Amino acid sequence: MFFKVFRHSRIKNALTPLTPIFLLLSAALFIAPFFSASLYANQNWQKASELNQKGDRLIAQNRFDEALQAFAEAERLWSDSGFYATRQGNVYLWHKKDPAAALQHFDRALTQGGDRSVFTLRERGIAFCQIERYDDSEKAFQSALQLAEQNLAAVPAHQAKERTGALDEVLYTLGYASICKRDQKRYTEAVALADRGLALRPNSDNFALNEGKVHSEIWLAHAAFAAGRYEEAAAHYREAEGVIERSKPHRDWLKEFNPRFHRELAEQRLAVERQGIKPQYVHRMHVFFLKKARFDFKDLNGKQVVANDEINDDDREKAALFLQVLKRQLEAMSGGRLTIEYDITALDVTVTEMSVTAWGGQESRAPILDALPDEAADAYCDAARSVDTIWTFWPGRGSATTANGGALTYPCVPFQLNTPLRGYVSFPANWNAPDATVVYLHEFFHNIEAMSGINPTHGFQDQNRGRFPSWKGTGQMDYFRWHFQNTLPGNKPQPQTYANLNYLHRYPNTATEEVVMANRVAVARITLENRRQAKALAEQAHELYWNRKQHKAALEAAEKALAQNPYQRDALLLAGLAAGDLKKNELAAAYLQRLAPLHPELWVLQRLAYIQQWQLKDLPAAIRTFELIAERHPEESDRYPNYGRALMDADRLDEALVVLEQGRNSSKEDVAAQSAFWKGYLLGERMNRPSDALLLVQEGYNRGYRDSFVEFFLKKYSGSAVSERALAPDAPVTSPKTQRPVEAAASPMDCSHSDD
C-alpha cells in the first residue's frame, strides 16, 4: 500500500502513516496563500476557521465522521481555494483509508481554486497512487512540484521563515513522489527524486524524502546482492546507512535492520568470490507457497480471528528475492563454505486450520499442515526425500503474529504418517517489507539451532547472552555471524565441516512409496477427525511411555487411540512396546505385527522377531519377520545369527546353512563370529558332521564369540575331555534395543511479532 511505513515486525511502537503536512505545520502556512488580508475580517471565514480547528480536535480523538461534518460546514461557509474540500478528502485518504472517496473531494477542491494549492495537488497525487492510477498520480505530483518551485522562487531571499516553509513544500512533494515511485518498484527513479530534494537541503530530516530514499536504496541493494553484484549492493546499503544520522523517525528501525551489517556481508561475499572458495555443503530446501487462507478461530485471549487472504504475485516475487539474499548471507557468514539451493512449488490449496500456542510471551500461529488436502501431504512427503529443510509460505494478512523456525516432521498421510525430521520454517508471505532479510535469517538460524543444539535460542537477547560470553558484539545479525564463524560448524558427526549442518543424512528417509501407500490404504475409510483424535491420544501415550515411564497407562491411552484409528502408527508402536514391558507378549506381538507393514523400521521388526522367536516360540512367525527384514533392509546383517537359528530350530536346515554362511561374510565381527559358530553347531549337532563343525566353531571362537557354551563345543569337536553336554541357549546373545522415535513435531522456535 502507498505510504505504508515499512518497519520491523517486532517493533510495537512503530511509525504510523505520517500525519499530513497540514497538521504538522501551522494552519496559517496553508491558509495564507489562499486568502487575502481583507478576508480575515470576514465573518464566514472566521466561522470556517473555528470549524477547521474543531475538526483538528475531533481527528485527534479519532472522531472522523464528526470531523468530516465540521469541514463540510466550513466549506459551505467558505469554499474559496478548495481548502476545506481538500481537508475532507484528507480525512478519507489518511484516516478512513478510502482514496477513491478522497479523490471526489480533491476534484471538487480543484473547481474551487485548489489547482493553485500545492497541498491539494500533492494529496491528489497520493490518492491516485494509492489506487494505482500512476499516470494520473505523476501528473498531479508534477503540477504540485511545479507550483511549489514557483512559490519558492517568488519568496525573497531575506524572508528566511517564508523560504523555509516554501522549501518544505518542495521537499514534501518530492518525497511523496519518491514514495509513489518506490511503491511502483521504480526504485532508481525514487532515489533520484529523493536525492533531488536532499541536494536542496543536505542532511534534511524531511520524513517523506528519507522514507522514499531509504527503502528504495535497500530494495536496490537487495536486488544487487541477490544477483551477485556485491559492490553495487554495498554502495546502496551505505546510502541507507546515511539516513540513520539525519532522520530520527527512521533511526530505531534502521538500527534494527542494520544496513552497515548488510553492507559488510556484501563485502564479505565479494571476498569469497575473489578467493574462489567452494562450499563444503549445499543445504537443500523445498519452498512451498500455500495459496489461500480461509479460517475462523479464537485467539488465546478469546478474540475472533477471521482470515480470507491469498498469496499474490508481489508476495511470491519478494519471497524469491529474500531467499536469494539469504543464500548470499549464509555464503558470506560461512566464508563460502555453506550455501543453500532450493526449488519452489506453488500449491493451490487453502489453509483452513491454525495452530495457536503461546511462546515467549507471544501468541504464535502457524498452519496445521495435516489439515491440508492430500495433495499437499504428497508434496511434503516427496520433498522430504531429498531436502534438509522445508520452507512454507502462507497468506497471513490479518492473522499472522509470528514466523517460526526449528525442526518438524511433515505429513505424508495426514494424522497418520510423517516424514523424518526436517528443517522447518513457517513464514507469512505478506511479511515482505525490506527488513524481512533479518527475519529470514533469524528463522533459518532457528533451523540451524535445532540441528546443532545451540541453547538457548535468541542468545542475542540481554537475558541470554551470558550463555555466550565469547560473543562481544551487539544485535542479532552480529550474533548469527559470530556463531557461523565460531561455533558452526560443530564437531559432530564430522569434525569442523559445514557438512554437519544437514537433516537429510542425519535423519534418513525410510518411508518408501510402498510404506506410504500401505498407510494411505489402511486409513482410507477412517475419517480425518477420527485420525486427528487418534493422533492426539497417541501423543498422550507417547508422553506416558517415554517421559513418565508409566507403561500401563501408556498402553491404555494407546488402545483408546486405536479405538479411533486401528492403524494409528504411533499408537500401535507404543501399545506393542508397553505390552511387551508388561509381559503381555501375545498382545505385544499382535500390535507390532499390525504395525509392521505400516512402520517397517529395522528396530521395530527386530523387536517383533525377538518376541516371536524367544518369548512366544512362534518360529514360523519369526521367520516371516526375518524375511521381511531381509526384504526391507538387505544391507542389515544383525539378523543372520538369530534368523539362522530360527530356521535351524524349525528344521529348515539347508536354508539355515545359507543364512549363516551369509552371516560369516558380514563386515561386523560379532555377527560373523556368531554365524560361524552356529553354522558349526548346526553341522555338528543337527547334521552329524562334527569334522566339518570344528573349523567353524574355532573360527567363531577366534573372532570373539566366547562363552562357556562355545567353549564346550570347541573342546568337544577338538577331542578334549568334557564332563557334560551343554544345551543350546534359549535366548539370543543380544536382544534388540528399543529406539525412541523422533518427536512428531519438535517445538518450532518463534521469531518476530507483528500487529498486522
Q: How do residues 426-478 score in pLDDT, each as one tens digit? A: 999 999 999 999 999 999 999 999 988 888 889 999 999 999 999 999 999 99
- 549 and 470 inside one domain: no
Residue 719: pLDDT band with limits 50, 70, 90? confident
Residues 6+ positions from 716 with CB-CB distance below 8 Å: 684, 690, 722, 725
- 300 and 444 inside one domain: yes
Tell me the average pLDDT across 325-329.
98
CATH code for position 660? 1.25.40.10
Q: Is 416 a domain residue?
A: yes
- 286 close to 340: Cβ distance less than 8 angstroms: no
DSSP secondary structure letters along 56-83: HHHHHTT-HHHHHHHHHHHHHH--GGGH
Phi/psi for 277 (5° steps) reads: -75, 135
Could you tell me the end-to-end alpha-carbon distance of the chain, in angstroms, rounded to an integer? 13
Residue 736: pLDDT band with limits 50, 70, 90? low
Q: Which of 559, 579, 597 is the last residue of a domain?
A: 597
What pLDDT sits at residue 745? 44
CATH code for position 537? 1.25.40
- 612 and 702 inside one domain: yes
Tell me the average pLDDT across 197-226.
97
What pLDDT sits at residue 9? 30
List 297's β-bridge partners, or say none: 305
What pLDDT sits at residue 457? 87
What pLDDT sits at residue 494? 73
Q: Is 108 a domain residue?
A: no
- 436 and 454 inside one domain: yes
- 688 and 704 inside one domain: yes
551-593: pLDDT as tens digits: 999 999 999 999 999 999 999 999 999 999 999 999 999 999 9
- 556 and 578 inside one domain: yes
DSSP 8-state symbol, 525 = T
What are the grid coordinates assigned to 177, written together?
513522489
- 307 close to 399: Cβ distance less than 8 angstroms: yes
Collapsing DSSP states into helix, strand and coil, what is residue 417?
strand
- 320 and 461 inside one domain: yes
pLDDT at 12 over 80: no
- 489 and 531 inside one domain: no
Query: Which of the two residues, 79 and 754, has the higher pLDDT score?
Result: 79
Tell me the average pLDDT across 28-49.
62
In Å, how far are 8, 28, 150, 278, 395 from 82, measured between CA atoms? 38, 15, 20, 65, 42
Tell me the average pLDDT across 690-716.
95
Q: Is 20 a domain residue?
A: no
pLDDT at 281 over 60: yes
Q: Is 505 a domain residue?
A: yes
What percent of the chain has a predicted confidence (pLDDT) above 90?
A: 84
- 592 and 616 inside one domain: no
664-683: pLDDT as tens digits: 999 999 999 999 999 999 99
For residue 541, the enclosing domain spans: 516-597
Helix (H) or strand (E) holding 723: none
Strands 362-367 and 389-394: unpaired
- 541 close to 561: Cβ distance less than 8 angstroms: yes
Q: How many CB atoms lie within 10 A of CB 456?
A: 13
- 306 and 438 inside one domain: yes
How many structural domains does the chain have? 3
Which range among 56-60, 445-449, 649-653 shows the weakest confidence by mean pLDDT?
445-449
Residue 19: pLDDT band with limits 50, 70, 90? very low
Q: Is 37 a domain residue?
A: no
pLDDT at 704 over 70: yes
Q: Which of 577, 597, 617 is the last residue of a domain?
A: 597
Q: What is the mean pLDDT of the chain?
A: 90
Q: Is 10 a domain residue?
A: no
How large is the angle between the packed helices 551-564 and 569-581, nearest 10 degrees? 150
Q: Which of 597, 612, 633 is the last residue of a domain?
A: 597
Q: Is 78 a domain residue?
A: no
Closest by Cα among 563, 560, 322, 573 to 428: 322
pLDDT at 749 over 90: no
- 488 and 377 inside one domain: yes
- 463 and 320 inside one domain: yes
Phi/psi for 404 (5° steps) reads: -135, 150
Tell me the average pLDDT across 30-57.
73
Q: Is 284 a domain residue?
A: yes
In Å, how far are 110, 394, 411 from 366, measured between CA atoms? 49, 9, 15
Whole-model pTM?
0.86
What pLDDT sits at residue 10? 28
The amino acid sitting at 156 is P
